[in-house]
Amino acid sequence: MNATNHLPILPVYRPTAPQMIYSSAEPHGLTTLLAKSGNDFCFLSTGWTGTPIVAAKPAVHLRVIEADCGFALEISIGGWRHRQPMASAAEAIAALCRQLDAGLQAPTAPLGVGWIGYIGYDLQRRIEGTGPHRSNEPLAHMCLYQHFYIYHADGKWLLVEIGEPASASLTEVAELSDVGEMSEARGLDDTAATGGMVETAGMMEMIDTLRAAEVTVPCEAGVLRDARAPTQPPFISAVRRALEYIGAGDIYQINLCGVWAGRSDNPYELWRSMYEKSPGRYSAFIQSGDWAVCSISPELFLSRRGASLITQPIKGTRIRNRADAAADDKARGELLLSGKEESELAMIVDLLRNDLGRACDIGSVRLSAARQVESLPHLWQTYATIEGKTNASWGTILNCMLPGGSITGVPKIRAMEIIDELEGTARGIYCGNIGWMRADAGDLNIAIRTATWHAGHATYRAGAGIVAESNPVDEYCEICAKAWPFTSTFSGLATEAAL
C-alpha cells in the first residue's frame, strides 16, 4: 500500500478578511524587528508578486527529511508531530504537494499568501536516482504562516491573517476609500484600517507589530569572520574534467559550483548586505530556529497563475563596469554577440521546453521570449521565457520538471551524475527552489546566489555553465563575480571576488 494513504488529513486553514493599514513602517524596519525578536519569519522581495511580503508566526511546518527507509514527510502543528515514511523522492514531493493543496483554501487571497519555504536540490536529485551525498538540512521545508504583511506604496500595508481551521472564509478587500475611520477610534496616529475591521487578537497583534516597527533600531551587522573561498586549482580541474566529458559526448553542458563559507552572528543582516549589493528579482530570506536561508536569486524557475505556467532560465554572464559607461555598454554588447553564451541558453531552453511539455497540455508550450538582457548592479545576464498551460497538480508539475535544467545540464541525468562526482558534496538548498505556493498559484525561484546559515556558520555557492567553448580560468572568474555580494561582506574574501 502506498505510504501516503496513511497520512493524516491537515485541517483546512483559510485567510480572514484582508485589512488595509496605514503605517510609516518600512519592510526593512519590520523584518529587522522580527529578526531582533528571534521569531521565525520570512521576507519575499518585490519581484515575486510586485510588492514586498513579510510572513510571520508559523502555524504548520511540512518537512521532507532523510530516513532509514529513504525519506519521511514530517508534519508539525504546535506540539503535535507526525512522521510518515516515503518510498521515493517523487512520492515525497507528491505527498508534500497534496498537503499544500489540501491544507489551505485561499483562491481569492492576495498573491503571495500561501505556503512559503524551499525544496532542496538533494531531494530533487533523487527523483532520477540515488545521490551519493547526504544533506545536513531538511530536504524540503514548507511553512504556513499565520500573519502576512504585504507592503504597498505610500505607507499602505495589506494585512492578512490565516485563521484557525474554523475561521471564516476570505472576503473581498474593502475599498481604499473606507480606510481611515479606525485611526481616530483607536488612537493609532498614522495607522488606519479598512472599514469593517475584524478585531481578532491576531489582527491586533499584527497592527501592534507594525507600530513597533515604525521606531525600531536597526540590527548590528554581527561578527563576520573565519571566511574561506574555493581555491582556483580544484575548480579549474573540475572544469577541465567536465570538458573531457563534453568532448567524449557524455554531456553537452553542465553547471558546476564553488563554495564559500564564513561565520556571522546575524543571518538577517548578512542577507541584507547581500541584497543591497545585488537585489535579485526573486530574493528571499527565511529564518527558522537556528537556521536561515539568504537568497538573492535573479532566476525564476516556475510561476503559476491558474492554468498558466512560466519558466525563465538564465544563461550567459558578463561582469559590469559601472564606473565606465562605455566599458559597461561594451560588456553588454559582448554578451549579446557571444556564440558561447547564446548556445548555453539555447540548450537549456530546449531542455526546459521538454520538461514543461511533460506537464503541460499538448501544443501549449511556446517560447515567448528567446533572449533578453537583465541588468544587475554588478552583472549583465541573459534569459529566456517559456510558457505553457496545464491543470495538473503541483506534485505532477514538479515531478516532471525538477531539478531545474539551468543548474544541472544537458542531458540532465548524466549531468547530475557528473556533478555528484566533480563537486563531491551535497548541494543542500542551493540550486533547489525557494518560494510560495498554494493550489492555484505560486512562484519558485532557482536557489542560486544563495547562502545557508546554521548556528553562526554561513555557506554560499555560485556556479557557471560549462560548454565546449568554456575557458576554465574565465569560468572561475565568473563564479567569483557571482559570489561578490557574499564575499565582499567578509573582508578576507574580497581579493577572491576581484579576480
Residues with active-site annotation: 299, 315
Return the SS3 of 313. coil
Contacts of 331 (CB under 8 A, 6+ apart): 318, 319, 320, 321, 380
Q: 298 near 279, Cβ under 8 Å?
A: no
Q: Which residue from 117, 141, 103, 116 is spatially nearest to 7, judged by alpha carbons?
A: 103
Rounded to whole angstroms, the Cα distance separating 298 from 144 reads 24
Rounded to whole angstroms, the Cα distance separating 430 from 13 reads 30
Rounded to whole angstroms, the Cα distance separating 143 from 332 reads 40
Rounded to whole angstroms, the Cα distance separating 86 from 67 reads 9
Q: Which residue from 87, 128, 84, 95 is spatially nearest to 355, judged by alpha carbons?
A: 128
Rounded to whole angstroms, the Cα distance separating 376 from 483 reads 13
- Torsion angles phi and psi, residue 19, rounded to 5: -125, 135
Contacts of 281 (CB under 8 A, 6+ apart): 45, 46, 47, 48, 297, 298, 300
Q: Which residue from 257, 298, 258, 301 is spatially nearest to 278, judged by alpha carbons?
A: 298
Sign of CA dihedral 327, 333, 337, 341: positive
The amino acid present at 249, given as its one-letter code, is G
Q: What is the dihedral of CA 296, 301, 302, 303, to 10 degrees?
A: 40
Q: Which residue from 423, 310, 403 is spatially nearest to 120, judged by alpha carbons?
A: 403
Which residue is it, cell 508534500?
96
Q: Which residue from 493, 96, 445 is spatially nearest to 282, judged by alpha carbons?
A: 445
Q: 22 near 156, Cβ under 8 Å?
A: yes
C-alpha cell read off for 259: 563554495
The amino acid present at 298, given as its one-letter code, is P
Task: Return the ∠ at Cα 97 (arms to 95 and 103), rounded to 5°.
Answer: 100
Rounded to whole angstroms, the Cα distance separating 132 from 297 reads 26
**In this structure, are strands 253-264 and 409-410 parallel, antiparallel, or unpaired?**
antiparallel
Contacts of 397 (CB under 8 A, 6+ apart): 302, 304, 309, 359, 390
Contacts of 428 (CB under 8 A, 6+ apart): 120, 121, 122, 135, 136, 137, 452, 459
